[in-house]
């Protein structure tokens, strides 16, 4: 496909820019960062009529249209169902925004200001040892899962073994102090839930890291092409990385938040009631619910506490699965690491998380 | 999406977040404690937008050297002023998902959905769980009637079997919702993080309960402990009752969640 063809295809669908699968379809040269064009001059820019309508113009028309049609739009969502959907969607976004922004800023700091050699020194040489160290390092990152995806992406770019970065990705949202304290507050009479959550989450992260070492293939991971930061001044590189990651991870967060809001509105809680009495079904039900609800890891303990008709073990499964696999995370992982990665990694994590949580629950609870 | 458009979206997003967090609007969606973080995040978004637009502007204002930069550094950061210059592709694919960030901007600036109300209450079971039962309840605050939260009343009524409520008048603030039997109930939504984890606390009303109020009307009720206990059909949890002595309609409070 020539450049002109691509331009033509793109031009024909200016509004249909939500091609969130695109990064995975890129050829690999896009992910390496070093594979820029061979230094030659770019093809001359064509100033045809169509080229004048860029994304800024599309954006302007879109916003003007929305302001004009504000009234009919507001009437459209006066239905309580849609209104609740909008409230939940907006609140997931508002809640996640600080964590996303801080995670992105931290990941830009990693990308721009922390030299590559730091990670070689900080982590054990052997990847099998680096995995548990990276998992345990998750303790120091007080945030929820939205922030840890860009950070893990940055770590891989900076030469950290993917197994270690992925272990960190899984561990950080689940075992950081804020989450454990929230769990203790939500279960004041069951302190063993806190221990169970910490132990099980750490185990899952380590097992997944080692599993990646044995079975994982680097070519499943396709980091989206990010500005080649090495050639820029540090300040420019920093802001370019921040902009890119917010647009990218944030866009996938929107997809996840929409999915979570839909589940929140469409799946009434009374469906769960019938499942609570069967020990096996209750575990599966809460594992799936954790994936679908996509609640922030700092809040999920309170939701688990309120699901009091379920056994403690099944609620532990809910707490272990939720921060590691959920709709918004899978969406963000597919965006950051590529679809081929996410469609393998997420189901494997789900399976291991359920098995480990049930085992820990059987021993501890 | 080119960099200018990304800058505009970031600016709108940051502006929407800051606006929601300096007014009380954010309280419809998240806990009050998040406010400083929201403001900082919003300002960082605005800073990222300004820097994006600034770098883009500087690059354009000196077109001749910019071409040189292009050639030397590849297409890395400079995706050019329009989507059209797609000489080598990849950089343009991925930020397209960024268009979706317009949705939360619209949600915050144009739609501004209300806090969760009676629809969400009907969907979920009352969130009194025995895990949160504590073994002793301190005496009620002073005052006649004593002002307590709906959650506090419900836990005292169920787990303390009303002992600490005995002989006292209490005042509860909540909104009206239709109970399973069609009787109006008093409800309040408890948040631990954001509205996605909002769970209702329901209290039935005995005695001179308000009638004929539409759902989602905010009321203050004064009453005493009633030993009647109902069951929530959604999750089988217990719903305490309050023997209402008087009630009055009020405006929605600043903090609609507990």
> Which tops the pLDDT comparison, A38 or A326?
A326
Mean of pLDDT values over A93-102: 86
pLDDT tens digits for range A4-33: 444 444 433 333 333 333 333 333 333 333
- Whether A290 is in a domain gets the answer yes
Preferred mutation among A95, A316, A333 to probe B, highest tally of B CBs within 10 A? A95
Does A335 have pLDDT greater than 50?
yes
Q: Which of A66-80, A140-154, B36-50, B147-161 has the highest mean pLDDT?
A: B36-50
State the virtual CA torsion across A34, A38, A41, A45 in degrees, nearest 10: -60
Residue A28's pLDDT is what? Answer: 33
- How distant, in Å, are the alpha carbons of A47, A193, A200, A205, B163 from that of A137? 52, 21, 16, 11, 47
From the CA of B144, how many Å to the nearest CA of chain A?
Answer: 31
* CA–CA dist A226, B95 (Å, integer): 10
Look over chain B and give the mean of its residue pLDDT values, rounded to a whole number.
82
Does A356 have pLDDT greater than 90?
yes
Lowest pLDDT segment from A11-20, A42-51, A231-240, B151-160? A11-20
Residue A227's pLDDT is what? Answer: 60
Q: What number of helices (H) and strands (E) belong to chain A?
A: 20, 0
Token reading at B183 = 């009787």
Tell whether A308 is within 8 A of chain B (Cβ): yes
- Whether A30 is in a domain gets the answer no
- Are A190 and B131 inside 8 Å of each other by CB? yes
Mean of pLDDT values over A259-283: 80
| ipTM of this predicted structure | 0.85
- Please answer whether residues B75 and B85 qualify as being in contact, where contact means their C-beta atoms are separated by less than 8 angstroms: no
Residue A272's pLDDT band, with cuts at 50, 70 and 90, is confident
* CA–CA dist A158, A153 (Å, integer): 9
Residue B84's pLDDT is what? Answer: 36
Residue B131's pLDDT is what? Answer: 62
Q: Closest Cα partner for A303 from B95, B127, B172, B217?
A: B127
Question: Across the interface, which of A3, A77, A94 has its CB nearest the CB of B194?
Answer: A94
- Whether A29 is in a domain gets the answer no
- Whether A139 is in a domain gets the answer yes
Q: For A60, which DSSP code?
A: H
In chain A, positions 155-214, which contact chain B (CB-CB < 8 Å)?
182, 186-190
Q: Tell me which chain A residues have a C-beta less than 8 angstroms from the C-beta of B49.
A: 243
Does B85 have pLDDT greater than 70?
no
Question: Across the interface, which of B86, B104, B131 has its CB nearest the CB of A10?
Answer: B86
Does A145 have pLDDT greater than 80?
no
The CA R_g of chain A, rounded to the nearest whole Å, is 22
Domain ranges of chain B: 3-113, 119-249
All residues at 6 or more sequence positions from A116 whose CB lies less than 8 Å from its CB, including other chains: A158, A159
Q: Closest Cα partner for B224 from B119, B153, B127?
A: B153
- Please answer whether residues B11 and B46 qualify as being in contact, where contact means their C-beta atoms are separated by less than 8 angstroms: yes
Residues in chain A: 365
Residue A25's pLDDT is what? Answer: 35
Residue A36's pLDDT is what? Answer: 37
Token reading at B151 = 């959650």
Residue B75's pLDDT is what? Answer: 40
All residues at 6 or more sequence positions from B167 whose CB lies less than 8 Å from its CB, including other chains: B224
**Scanning the structure block, which residue is given the tokens 């992260």?**
A205
Lowest pLDDT segment from A82-86, A138-142, B33-37, B79-83? B79-83
State the virtual CA torsion across A59, A60, A61, A67 in degrees, nearest 10: 110
* Positive/negative CA dihedral, B124, B196, A327, A257: positive
H or E stretch covering A108: helix A80-112
Residue A49's pLDDT is what? Answer: 43
- Whether A67 is in a domain gets the answer no
Residue A361's pLDDT is what? Answer: 94
> Number of folded domains in chain A?
1
Does A305 have pLDDT greater than 80?
no
Lowest pLDDT segment from A107-121, A265-279, B65-79? B65-79
pLDDT tens digits for range A120-136: 788 898 888 999 999 98
Residue B43's pLDDT band, with cuts at 50, 70 and 90, is very high
Domain that holds residue A300: 79-364
B220 DSSP β-pair partners: B173, B248
- Whether A51 is in a domain gets the answer no
Architecture of domain B119-249: Beta Barrel (2.40)
Residue B202's pLDDT band, with cuts at 50, 70 and 90, is very high
pLDDT tens digits for range B108-117: 988 888 899 8
Question: Across the interface, which of A18, A22, A74 has its CB nearest the CB of B111?
Answer: A74
Q: What is the 3-state secondary structure (H, E, C) of chain B?
A: CCHHHHHHHHHHHHHHHHHHHHCHHHHHCECHHHHHHHHHHHHHHHHHHHHHHHHHHHHHHCHHHHHHHHHHHCCCCCCCCCCCCCCCCHHHCHHHHHHHHHHHHHHHHHHCCCCCCHHHHHHCCCCCCHHHCCCCCCCCCCCCCEECCHHHHHHHHHHCCCHHHCCCCEEEEEEEEECCCCCEEEEEEECCCEHHHCEEEEEEEEECCCCCCCCCCEEEEEEEEEEEEEECCCCCCEEEEEEEEEEEECCCCCCCEC
pLDDT tens digits for range B51-65: 999 988 887 776 544
């Amino acid at each position: 496909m020539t450049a002109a063809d691509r331009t033509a295809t793109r031009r024909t669908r200016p509004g249909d820019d939500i091609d969130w699968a695109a990064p995975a379809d890129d050829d690999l040269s896009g992910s390496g960062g070093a594979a820029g064009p061979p230094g030659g001059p770019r093809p001359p820019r064509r100033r045809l009529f169509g080229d004048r309508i860029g994304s800024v113009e599309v954006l302007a028309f879109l916003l003007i249209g929305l302001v004009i049609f504000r009234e009919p739009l507001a009437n459209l969502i006066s239905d309580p169902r849609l209104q609740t959907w909008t409230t939940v969607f907006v609140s997931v976004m508002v809640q996640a925004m600080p964590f996303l922004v801080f995670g992105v800023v931290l990941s830009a700091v990693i990308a721009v200001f922390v030299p590559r050699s730091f990670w070689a020194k900080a982590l054990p040489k052997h990847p099998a040892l680096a995995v548990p160290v990276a998992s345990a390092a998750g303790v120091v990152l007080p945030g929820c899962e939205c922030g840890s995806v860009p950070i893990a992406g940055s770590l891989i770019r900076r030469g950290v073994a993917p197994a270690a970065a992925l272990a960190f990705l899984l561990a950080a949202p689940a075992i950081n102090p804020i989450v454990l304290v929230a769990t203790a507050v939500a279960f004041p009479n069951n302190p063993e839930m806190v221990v169970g959550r910490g132990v099980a989450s750490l185990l899952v992260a380590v097992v997944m890291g080692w599993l990646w070492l044995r079975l994982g293939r680097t070519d499943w991971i396709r980091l989206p092409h990010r500005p080649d930061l090495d050639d820029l001044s540090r300040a420019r590189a920093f802001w370019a990385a921040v902009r890119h990651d917010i647009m990218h991870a944030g866009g996938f967060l929107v997809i996840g938040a929409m999915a979570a809001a839909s589940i929140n509105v469409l799946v009434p809680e009374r469906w769960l009631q019938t499942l609570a009495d069967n020990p096996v079904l209750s575990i599966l039900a809460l594992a799936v619910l954790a994936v679908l609800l996509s609640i922030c890891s700092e809040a999920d303990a309170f939701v688990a506490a309120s699901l009091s008709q379920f056994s403690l073990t099944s609620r532990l499964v809910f707490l272990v699965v939720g921060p590691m696999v959920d709709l918004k995370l899978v969406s963000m992982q597919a965006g950051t690491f590529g679809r081929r990665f996410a469609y393998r990694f997420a189901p494997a994590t789900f399976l291991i998380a359920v098995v480990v949580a049930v085992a820990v629950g059987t021993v501890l609870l | 999406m080119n960099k200018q458009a990304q800058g505009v979206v970031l600016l709108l997003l940051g502006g929407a977040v800051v606006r929601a967090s300096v007014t009380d609007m954010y309280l419809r969606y998240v806990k009050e404690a998040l406010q400083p973080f929201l403001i900082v995040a919003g300002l960082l978004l605005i800073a990222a937008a300004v820097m994006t637009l600034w770098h883009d502007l500087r690059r354009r204002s000196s077109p001749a050297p910019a071409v040189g930069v292009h050639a030397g550094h590849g297409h890395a950061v400079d995706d050019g002023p329009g989507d059209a210059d797609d000489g080598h592709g990849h950089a343009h694919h991925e930020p397209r998902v960024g268009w979706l960030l317009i949705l939360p901007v619209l949600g915050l600036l144009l739609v501004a959905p209300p806090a969760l109300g009676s629809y969400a209450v009907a969907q979920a079971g009352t969130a009194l769980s025995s895990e949160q039962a504590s073994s002793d309840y301190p005496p009620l605050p002073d005052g006649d009637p004593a002002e307590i939260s709906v959650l506090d009343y419900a836990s005292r009524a169920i787990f303390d079997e009303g002992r600490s409520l005995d002989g006292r008048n209490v005042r509860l603030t909540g909104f009206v919702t239709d109970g399973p039997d069609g009787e109006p109930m008093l409800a309040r939504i408890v948040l631990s993080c954001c509205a996605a984890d909002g769970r209702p606390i329901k209290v039935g009303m005995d005695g001179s309960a308000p009638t004929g109020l539409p759902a989602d009307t905010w009321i203050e009720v004064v009453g005493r402990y009633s030993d009647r206990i109902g069951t929530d059909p959604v999750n089988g949890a217990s719903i305490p009752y309050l023997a209402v002595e008087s009630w009055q309609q009020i405006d929605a409070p600043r903090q609609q969640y507990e």
